[in-house]
């Protein structure tokens, strides 16, 4: 009986040893791969339905497929997170469809070879450069769009042209139409429900051309702010009753 127990242990160790293998795993970015070593941690007790080498081959196939599919979602720029995620994924219990089933779990070590590390560094440098270019382009677009919401700025831009014909300036309606188009532009961070609500309120107030109607709305607004214990906001709303508005921030019309 002792000999049989020893034989089972030797068979189990042999299977674990045969299931240890190195593999190059793909990553989130084509052409950059992880270098990994996968090994079986736990395996069911023998006897196994097939010889050790055949069983180990099947186990390696299962682990190779599981690791390869999951590794494609991992970012090589963060190998520590990739290691943790892949380790957890391979740590799930799996089994071969045999009778009796061979049940096993796996662990891995993960690294990047020097060439892949260099590729990651080059990729990050390119991403940073592109990010800076994108930010500068967005800032230029946003600044220009804000400027051109003022019809006077639209006309000033026309005057700055090298061949502007002062005898035939753009008509007032055309200038206002252009300004209105830019006034509708909103950067991504302003495309929220709060900004949409502000636009809705502006449109609502503009629909009442009579000053007395607007003053009635300001009074209702001030009363609502008092009711919700917002005295500072209520005071600003009350100031609108007298036709007073707070000064615009520097640089804005």
- Asked which of 35-39, 140-144, 248-252 is least confident by mean pLDDT, the reply is 248-252
- For the segment 212-219, the average pLDDT, to the nearest whole number, is 80
pLDDT at 203: 77
- Asked which of 12-26, 109-123, 159-173 is least confident by mean pLDDT, the reply is 159-173
- For the segment 123-130, the average pLDDT, to the nearest whole number, is 95
Q: HSE, CB side, 13 Å, CA atoms: give it for residue 231.
A: 0
pLDDT at 227: 86
Average pLDDT, the chain: 85
Q: Is the pLDDT confidence value at 244 over 90? A: no
Other CB atoms within a 10 A radius of the CB of residue 245 amount to 9
Burial 148-179 (b: 16+ CB within 10 A, else e): bbbbebbbeebeeeeeeeeeeebeeeebeebb
Q: Is there a contact between 28 and 36 (Cβ–Cβ < 8 Å)?
A: no
- Asked which of 48-57, 58-67, 139-148, 156-165 is least confident by mean pLDDT, the reply is 156-165
The label of the residue with tokens 């709060």 reads 194
Secondary structure of residue 44 in the 3-state scheme: coil
- Domain spans, the chain: 2-112, 192-253
pLDDT at 187: 67
What whole-number distance in Å separates Cα of residue 163 and Cα of residue 140? 24
pLDDT at 196: 72
Q: What percent of the chain has pLDDT over 70?
A: 91
pTM greater than the 0.75 cutoff: no
Burial 5-18 (b: 16+ CB within 10 A, else e): eeeeeebbeebbeb
pLDDT confidence band for 213 (50 / 70 / 90): confident
Q: Is the pLDDT confidence value at 154 over 50? A: yes
pLDDT at 186: 67
């Amino acid at each position: 009986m002792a000999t049989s127990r020893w034989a089972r242990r030797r068979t189990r160790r042999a299977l674990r040893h045969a299931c240890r293998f190195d593999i190059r795993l793909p990553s989130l970015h084509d052409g950059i791969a992880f270098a990994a070593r996968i090994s079986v941690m736990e395996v069911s007790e023998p006897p196994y339905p097939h010889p050790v080498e055949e069983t180990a081959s099947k186990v390696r196939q299962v682990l190779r497929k599981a690791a390869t599919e999951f590794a494609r979602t991992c970012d090589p720029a963060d190998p520590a997170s990739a290691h943790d995620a892949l380790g957890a994924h391979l740590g799930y219990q799996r089994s071969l469809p045999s009778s009796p089933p061979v049940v096993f779990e796996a662990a891995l070590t993960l690294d990047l070879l020097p060439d892949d590390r260099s590729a990651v560094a080059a990729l990050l440098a390119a991403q940073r450069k592109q990010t800076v270019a994108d930010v500068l382009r967005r800032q230029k677009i946003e600044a220009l769009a804000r400027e051109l919401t003022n019809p006077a700025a639209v006309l000033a831009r026309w005057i700055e042209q090298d061949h502007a014909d002062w005898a035939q300036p753009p008509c007032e309606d055309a200038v206002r139409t252009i300004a209105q188009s830019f006034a509708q532009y909103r950067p991504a961070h302003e495309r929220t429900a709060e900004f949409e609500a502000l636009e809705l309120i502006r449109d609502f107030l503009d629909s009442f051309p009579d000053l007395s109607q607007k003053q009635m709305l300001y009074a209702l607004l001030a009363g609502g702010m008092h009711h919700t214990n917002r005295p500072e906001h209520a005071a600003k709303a009350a100031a609108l009753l007298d036709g007073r508005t707070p000064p615009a921030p520097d640089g804005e019309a």
